[in-house]
Amino acid sequence: MSEPLLQVDGITKRFGGLTAVDDVGFSLEPGTITALIGPNGAGKSTLFHCVSGFIRPDGGTVRFNGRGVSRRSAHGRAQLGMVRTFQIPTAFNRLTVFENVELAARDQPADRLVGALVPGLGRLRRSAIRTRTNDLLETFGLADKADDLAGELSGGQRKLLEFARVLMTEPQLLLLDEPLAGVNPALGERLFAHVNRLRSDHGMTFLFVEHDIRTVMDHSDRVLVMAQGALIADGDPETVRRDPAVVEAYLGGGE
């Protein structure tokens, strides 16, 4: 087996007396699409925060591409190719939709280097970025909103914008926190078709949080289940769906 792209061990995060994430470990193989499910409050977003570096866990380690990243900032992890989206999107409201996506490409190490060394190449790269921005806006049904301010988008459109922004950074691993919440089903299908293409064409790896079980069954190779901070199941979608512990977690969790 190849080396895992992501290796998470013993992640624990407490908020006062509450253990939101309780000794969670798992690994992701390159080129896979994994769903992370669990009742509300199970600790999914908190786990995402810990893995992506937005909060510091009380314990545990994260390795990405064979190197320890536990002490790196979220920004540092993103530069290595591990990027996440938020359950509540974080676009720049006072920039246009186009600018939001275009800007996301700016901070790439390759971009800074090319711009500094070869101005002509920098221009070429900028035009490639514009083309890519337009392609992504087209894919996510945002082309006719390109010149609108991001702050004027609907909730679902903001999700799509967030997705387009992270793809601009050409990550190896993408962590998506409820990418479809508020997005209409037809567009959701398009989004996952795009995810599949990125996996097959570029070997990209995905971990996504999703509440809709149909979406999970249709689009993931593997499902991780969290309940009350702990990982309680890990397997292929069919097996996990039939797992009594998973059924119990959902019934007991009040969803």
Ligand X SMILES: Nc1ncnc2c1ncn2[C@@H]1O[C@H](COP(=O)(O)OP(=O)(O)OP(=O)(O)O)[C@@H](O)[C@H]1O
Binding site for ligand X (CB under 6 A): 15, 18, 20, 38, 40-46, 87
17/120 with CB nearer ligand X: 17
Does residue 45 belong to the site contacting Mg ion (CB under 5 A)? yes
36/160 with CB nearer ligand X: 36
Smallest distance from ligand X to CB 10, Å: 17
CB neighbour class for 184 (10 Å; exposed up to 12, middle 13-18, buried from 19)? exposed
Q: How many alpha carbons lie under 13 Å from residue 123 in its C-beta half-sphere?
A: 2
Rounded to 5 degrees, what angle do the CA atoms 176, 179, 185 make?
Answer: 145
Dihedral sign, CA of 250, 251, 253, 255? positive
Distance (Å, whole) CA 85 – CA 147 = 22
Residues 66-105 that bind Mg ion (CB under 5 A): 87
- Binding part of the chain for Mg ion, among 39-47, 59-67, 156-164, 226-234 by CB under 5 A, reads 39-47
**Residue nearest Mg ion, Cβ-based:** 45
Q: Are strands 173-177 and 205-209 parallel, antiparallel or unpaired?
A: parallel
20/142 with CB nearer Mg ion: 20
51/114 with CB nearer ligand X: 51
Does residue 139 belong to the site contacting Mg ion (CB under 5 A)? no
